[in-house]
Amino acid sequence: MSIEIKQLADQLNEASENIKTRISGLESNFNLMDTELAKLQTKGTKHYFGGEFETKNDPEFSQFLTKGAMPSESKSLSVTTDGQGVSVRSDWTNETATLVYETSPVRQVAKIMNTDSNEVEILVNRGEPESVWIGELDARADTTTDFMTRHKIPVDEHYAYPSITLQMMEDSEFNVEDWLQGQVSMRFARQEASAFVNGDGIGKPKGLLNYGTVKEESFTWGATPSAYQLGAQYTGVDGDITNPDVLFDLVDSVKAAYLPRSSWMMTRAFRNKIRKLKDTQDRYMLQPSIDANVPDRLLGYPVYLAEDMPTLAADVVGALFGNFGDGYTIADRTGYTVQRDAVTKPGWVKYYVRRRIGGALTNPEAIKALVLGTEPI
């Protein structure tokens, strides 16, 4: 028993000596740290007449005491005079102020067809078989038969080929790649909408206003699609409308079969003209919508804003009315296709974005035009 106690005592003594050795080592380290800290504190301190002053914190005061140099002129410090404008930094917002581009809603109301070819053929039926009344015993002669004709709509292509640097993609605060593709998509939509209204049909869709107009009394649905024209009513005033009766005339010039899905298309400027017109009972003609997602109505038909239509002037089309679903056809060959290239130009990523579409007036009697001018003789 006494031997076990002695062994335990020896182990305790040994552990105590180990602890003393470690404490001594720690004290040595603390002393070394104190010495180094003292050196750092005295690096910027100079002695003068038995006193000390800090030169690192106030160099101009040091120059005054040692050489008698007067301090330079002092100026106040503010956010705008901090030298580089970097001591106070602005916050970044996640929102971007973006210029709004206005366009036209033709795709919203037109007929959309998908195709796997480089053109679409629309069958046009402008006639009907002949029939006659006949008596029971009368001789039967042959009757005439009209066959349908074809209207070809070519599919055209437009593209964008933007590029951005790899560093911009890596370092930007937002996803530049997604932003760029979104911008290209919106640009394509505006370019297409503009072509559906004003396109000349050369390498692009042929727009509604590129077919020309003819007074309604002279309108005929001809056999040549390139010679199609829109029947028109005239306001009688150059670049303006003052008599609301012409609006009734325009609606009544559209055949009843087309009216259930008919609508108006005009600019905001022309809508503002219409908004001020009143009927014989002093009621405004335009019926404003109380829902932002529902269009205004004019004579019971919805009004769509088409800012690709021309500025109000003499003899230009101020408004279109009719069944655009029956009258204008859009042919979609492909959706948006994107080829991403991060190889051919080191340090850059290039995007080749393309889309193939076509568009044409396929039924000219379904859409009518309101011309801001005098009816030609």
Closest CA to 357 of 196, 224, 162, 123: 196
23, 28, 33, 35 alpha-carbon torsion, rounded to 10°: 150
**Does the pLDDT at position 49 exceed 70?**
no
* Alpha carbon distances (Å) from 125 to 142, 149, 223, 252, 359: 21, 7, 10, 23, 19
Q: Cα–Cα distance between 85 and 311 in angstroms, integer? A: 47
Burial letters 291-318, b for 16+ CB under 10 A, else e: eeeebbbbbebbbbbbbbbeebeeebbb
Q: Would you tell me how many other CB atoms lie within 10 Å of the CB of residue 157? A: 14
pLDDT attached to residue 206: 94
Residue 99 CB neighbour total at 10 angstroms: 4
Of the two residues 207 and 54, the one the predictor is more confident about is 207
Report pLDDT digits (tens) over 334-377. Answer: 777 888 888 898 889 888 988 999 999 999 999 999 999 999 87
Residue 226 has pLDDT above 50, yes or no: yes
Task: Give 56-78 pLDDT, tens digit per residue.
Answer: 455 655 565 555 555 555 454 44
Place of tokens 């410090």: 77
251 phi-psi bin (left φ>0, alpha ψ -120 to 50, beta other): alpha
- The mean pLDDT value of the chain amounts to 82
Is there a contact between 200 and 206 (Cβ–Cβ < 8 Å)?
yes
Structure tokens at 242: 């003052």
pLDDT tens, residue by residue, 142-166 = 887 776 778 889 999 998 988 888 8
Strand locations in 195-336, DSSP E?
A: 213-215, 230-234, 263-266, 286-287, 297-298, 301-305, 317-322, 328-332
Helices (H) and strands (E) in the chain, counts: 8, 18
Which pTM value belongs to this model? 0.70
How confident is the model at residue 127, as a pLDDT? 74
The partner residues of 47 in beta bridges, in order of sequence, read 52
- CA–CA distance, 119 with 26 (Å, rounded to integer): 89
Which residues are CB-neighbours of 98 under 8 A, at least 6 positions away?
none
Tell me what pLDDT residue 95 has.
52
Q: What's residue 41's pLDDT?
A: 55
b/e 12-40 (16+ beta carbons within 10 angstroms → b): eeeeeeeeeeeeeeeeeeeeeeeeeeeee
Among residues of the chain, what percentage have pLDDT more than 90? 42
At residue 54, does pLDDT exceed 50?
A: no
**CA dihedral over 181, 185, 186, 191, signed as positive or negative:** positive
What does the alpha-carbon distance between residue 362 and residue 207 come to, in Å, rounded to a whole number?
11
Tokens representing 234?
A: 């005239």
Q: What is the mean pLDDT of residues 229-243?
A: 95
Q: What is the pLDDT of residue 79?
A: 44
**DSSP tag of 140:** P
